[in-house]
Amino acid sequence: MKQFYFLACFLLFISTNGNSQTSDVATGFTEPYALALNGNELFISDLRSGKLSKIDITTTTKTVIEVITGIENIYGIAIKGNYLYFCDFANKISKIDITSSAPAVIDVVTGLNKPISLAFKGNELFIAEWGAGKISKIVDVTVASPIVIDLVTNLNLPTKLAFKDNELYFSLDADGKISKIDDVTASSLIVTDVVGGLTNPVGIAFKGNELYISEPMNNTITDKIYKIDTTKNNPILEEVLTGVSGPRGLVFNGELLYIAERYAGKVSKLDISTLSINQFDKNNSSMAIFPNPSANNIQISGLTKKENYKIYTILGKE
């Protein structure tokens, strides 16, 4: 039986920066922040320019199309049916009809305290209120006069929301950790810490059971993206990517992870298909490859039987 292993090789990275794994999707933004995907259309909020734009991710040449203008600080967006809902960081949630050629902004609820992130579950719209340190929700966005109720309070700067079934994961910027509401449908809500050790996590997105986390530690090319396996009782942060500048919004389309690089003024993408294979076969846990990374030679220990092996760099090169 053939075994496949991935090796992070210094030979490859000495001559390239950590951003070599990504490719640019669209450039020319001022401060791209939130992302939302609707079919082939990727919506992007640009904080300081006051614009919400979109691109068709299937085209070879990506054309940035302005959807609405004149609204600064759109930190969070989410799509439900024909409507795109967005956070006006001042105090409200608004929406537009994305099927309209000239969409009008309609206020949904007001009186919020710096809403920064949105996530839908059915007709319920969950809101991270950064200024109030809480997670609230609109009980039903389809009614004429939506009602907002508090779910969890006394949080330290909740920043981003992402659902996995009935579990609502959220990043806590100031605490440097990811927490979750175990079941948003329960009569009594329980908050559990998932993973700590971060500096200021501000973006999260699920790919299966893996949660990807953007970490703009310095808002320079030293910033990183991590992932964790949420099926583990004590998940470990695994570095996926460095060399991204101020990564904020994350969204998946198949194996492609789209990234809003706030301080690079662009949206980039990463093909994670070569990054999702475990470094070692779980059935051969005694095997070790060292040193790893390596500039030239490696040693392998712990082999228990004769088999065929192939070793790849993390970019998929044999």
Per residue in 97-141, pLDDT (tens digit) is 999 999 999 999 999 999 999 999 999 999 999 999 999 999 999
Per residue in 206-224, pLDDT (tens digit) is 999 999 999 987 666 678 9
pLDDT of 1 > 50? The answer is no
Domain ranges of the chain: 24-273
Per residue in 246-278, pLDDT (tens digit) is 999 999 999 999 999 999 999 999 999 866 444
Confidence of residue 299 (pLDDT cuts 50, 70, 90): confident
Q: What is the DSSP string of the chain?
A: -EEEEEE-BHHHHTTS-GGGGEEEEEE--SSEEEEEEETTEEEEEETTTTEEEEEETTSSSPPPEEEE-S---EEEEEEETTEEEEEETTTEEEEEETTSSSPPPEEEE---S-EEEEEEETTEEEEEETTTTEEEEES-TTSSS--EEEEE-S-S-EEEEEEETTEEEEEETTTTEEEEES-TTSSS--EEEEE---S---EEEEETTEEEEEE-SSSSTTEEEEEEETTSSS---EEEEEEESSEEEEEEETTEEEEEETTTTEEEEEEGGGTSS-SS-GGGTT-EEESSSBSS--EEE---S--EEEEEETTS--
Fold of 24-273: Neuraminidase (2.120.10)
Per residue in 72-94, pLDDT (tens digit) is 999 999 999 999 999 999 899 99
Confidence of residue 13 (pLDDT cuts 50, 70, 90): very low
pLDDT of 282 > 90? The answer is no
pLDDT of 283 > 60? The answer is no
> Model's pTM, two decimal places?
0.81
Cβ(52)–Cβ(46) below 8 Å:
yes
Q: Which residues contact 48 (CB under 8 A, 6 or more apart)?
A: 30, 31, 72
Per residue in 156-180, pLDDT (tens digit) is 999 999 999 999 999 999 899 999 9
